[in-house]
Amino acid sequence: MPRSRISEELREIAGAEAVLDGAEDLMLYEYDAGLSTGTPQWVVFPETTKQVSRIAQLASRMNVPLVPRGAGTGLSGGSIPRAGGIVLVFSRMTKILEIDAANRRAVVQPGVVNADLSAVVARHGLFFAPDPASQKASTIGGNVAENSGGPHTLAHGVTVNHITGLEVVLPDGGVVQMGGKAADSCGYDLTGLFVGTEGTVGIVTAITVKLTKVAEAVETLLAIFHTIDDAANAVASITAGGITPVALEMLDGKTLRCVEEATHAGYPMDSGAVLLIELEGLREAVTEQAEAVRAVCERHNAREMRRAANEQERQLLWKGRKTAFAALGRLAPAYYTQDGVVPRSHIAKVLRYIETVAQKCNLQIGNIFHAGDGNMHPCILFDMRDPDQVKRTHEAGRMILTYCVDCGGTITGEHGVGMEKNELMPLLFSEDDLEVMKWVHDAFNPKSVLNPQKLFPTPRSCRETNVAGGIGGSR
């Protein structure tokens, strides 16, 4: 079918104003917050599940790639149309369909912004716990696709722990319901299976989420250290001591200085690292835990412990944390963020290794990350206009992720695999492991119409990685 005919069919389905196919419009949807790009042939803004179903039927019939996209804040190329085709943008599917406060559930369309949901349900004393740093822009549908985390998921869990039901459009246009409002359902846990599949097995059009009750008391602490090692060792001791903060974040000196210059949040400019620690629960328990955390940090040479005296101070500290990546723009015009995960006891040595990578690749790397669950976020600073810097940036990222795997970790904690890390999957999985995953993929998406060339490595890269024993030379 000619391209013009597909454009006509898409307009018949979604409306004339809901389809873009001009070159100047398509350019706006060829990238996300990562490094990779890919240009779509069509961009469509559906408003209903029925429209999504009909578009999927068209794409399947014509064997045209179909790629779902939320807000485009992803960091692994998950919403990039690697093979062209149709990009479905959910910015018009933004309805909160139901709030069931009594049962702590809500049903939302995929385009609902993460932070907006919490703002709406706050009047019921509830919130949606997964809170990625991009929560003021990222959508619930995108959070489901990538199984997003965030600072407060140390105690509460990542997205999959807060999704109980999904309405999903399959590649052939069929519409299925997975799960529902119940905490558990019989049969296969297809809801859990679907979360984190990055749009490769189906397109979510409605999401039933679990809402969390706002705690009675919240205590926010800032632990200030002279060295990164002391801060990292304090993290391991806090969790080893049986204390589980709702958030335990770490910023190194390079990053916190940029943050302080940008936000004036109260981070000390002369420190080597800080820990942002938040506790919540019953008032007496929070007070007791705060004293225990203070004692652990002081044992690890914390030079000072500060407590947010009121909600304004607390919000300011979190403003600094959640705008940190943007603040690093003071040092370079672009950044590339990785999210390898390591055991907490390995954080200090991984940070030292990241510094050697920065020196070897002649790049600046700042570190701000979810220290409590070992989710590292090295932020590699570079200039996109310099091809050599781009090459060195990619190499630095590969070296860091390979080292995370060598330390017993993994290549992603919340950003997904997408097209940025798919060739690193053999570092974690054997060919047999990957084959089983491919069986699941093919059961839903046999023609690879949905989000093709994502997650899975090419067969050649599988063999090369297994032979080489890793990428980046750290093994």
pLDDT band at 315, cuts 50/70/90? very high
Do 257 and 360 fall into the same domain? no
Do 182 and 229 fall into the same domain? no
Do 147 and 209 fall into the same domain? yes
Do 304 and 187 fall into the same domain? no
Do 362 and 426 fall into the same domain? yes
pLDDT band at 461, cuts 50/70/90? low
Do 209 and 221 fall into the same domain? no
Q: Domain boundary residue among 38, 54, 89?
A: 89
Per-residue b/e over 304-327, b at no fewer than 16 CB within 10 Å? ebbebeeeebbeebbebbbbbbeb
pLDDT band at 166, cuts 50/70/90? very high
- Quote the crossing angle between the two packed helices 49-62 and 3-14, to the nearest 10°: 160
**Beta strands 378-382; 364-369: pairing state:** antiparallel
**Dist. CA 79–CA 419, nearest whole Å:** 9
Give pLDDT, residue 48. Answer: 98
Tell me if 322 is assigned to some domain.
no
Paired tokens of 213: 């009750």
Tell me if 187 is assigned to some domain.
yes
- Across the range 74-93, mean pLDDT stands at 96
Tell me if 57 is assigned to some domain.
yes
**pLDDT tens by residue, 130-155:** 999 999 999 999 999 999 999 998 99
Do 425 and 446 fall into the same domain? yes
Burial of 62 (0-12, 13-18, 19+ CB in 10 A): middle
Q: In this structure, what CATH number is given to the domain that contains residue 171?
A: 3.30.465.10
Q: In this structure, what CATH number is given to the domain that contains residue 7?
A: 3.30.43.10
Tell me if 323 is assigned to some domain.
no
Residue 83: count of CB within 10 angstroms of its CB:
17
Do 145 and 273 fall into the same domain? no
Give pLDDT, residue 267. Answer: 95
Name the residue among 373, 235, 376 with its Cα closest to residue 297.
235
Give pLDDT, residue 468. Answer: 42
Tell me if 320 is assigned to some domain.
no
Tell me if 319 is assigned to some domain.
no
Paired tokens of 270: 């002369």
Tell me if 318 is assigned to some domain.
no
Tell me if 475 is assigned to some domain.
no
**Residue 469 scores a pLDDT above 50:** no
pTM: 0.93
- Across the range 267-293, mean pLDDT stands at 96
Q: What is the mean pLDDT of the chain?
A: 94
What is the dihedral angle through the alpha carbons of 448, 452, 456, 457, rounded to the nearest 10 degrees?
120
**pLDDT tens by residue, 324-346:** 988 998 899 999 999 999 999 99
Q: In this structure, what CATH number is given to the domain that contains residue 280?
A: 3.30.70.3450
Q: Domain boundary residue among 311, 338, 358?
A: 311
Do 127 and 208 fall into the same domain? yes
Do 463 and 333 fall into the same domain? yes
Do 49 and 136 fall into the same domain? no
Q: In this structure, what CATH number is given to the domain that contains residue 441?
A: 3.30.70.2740
Q: Please, how many CA atoms are within 13 Å of residue 189, restricted to the half-sphere of its CB?
A: 10
Listed in sequence order, the residues at least 6 apart from 436 whose beta carbon sits closer than 8 Å to its beta carbon are: none
Quote the percentage of the chain above a pLDDT of 90: 92
Domain enclosing residue 198, as ranges: 96-213
Q: Domain boundary residue among 25, 57, 89?
A: 89
pLDDT band at 458, cuts 50/70/90? confident
**Dist. CA 450–CA 82, nearest whole Å:** 11
pLDDT band at 3, cuts 50/70/90? confident
- Indicate the number of domains in the chain: 4
**pLDDT tens by residue, 176-225:** 999 999 988 789 999 999 999 999 999 999 999 999 999 999 999 999 99
Burial of 57 (0-12, 13-18, 19+ CB in 10 A): middle
**Dist. CA 15–CA 191, nearest whole Å:** 31
**What are the residues facing 414 on neighbouring strands?**
none
Using left for φ > 0, alpha for ψ between -120 and 50, and beta otherwise, residue 380 falls in beta
Do 343 and 297 fall into the same domain? no
Q: Contact, 46 vs 92, CB < 8 A?
A: yes
- Across the range 411-432, mean pLDDT stands at 96
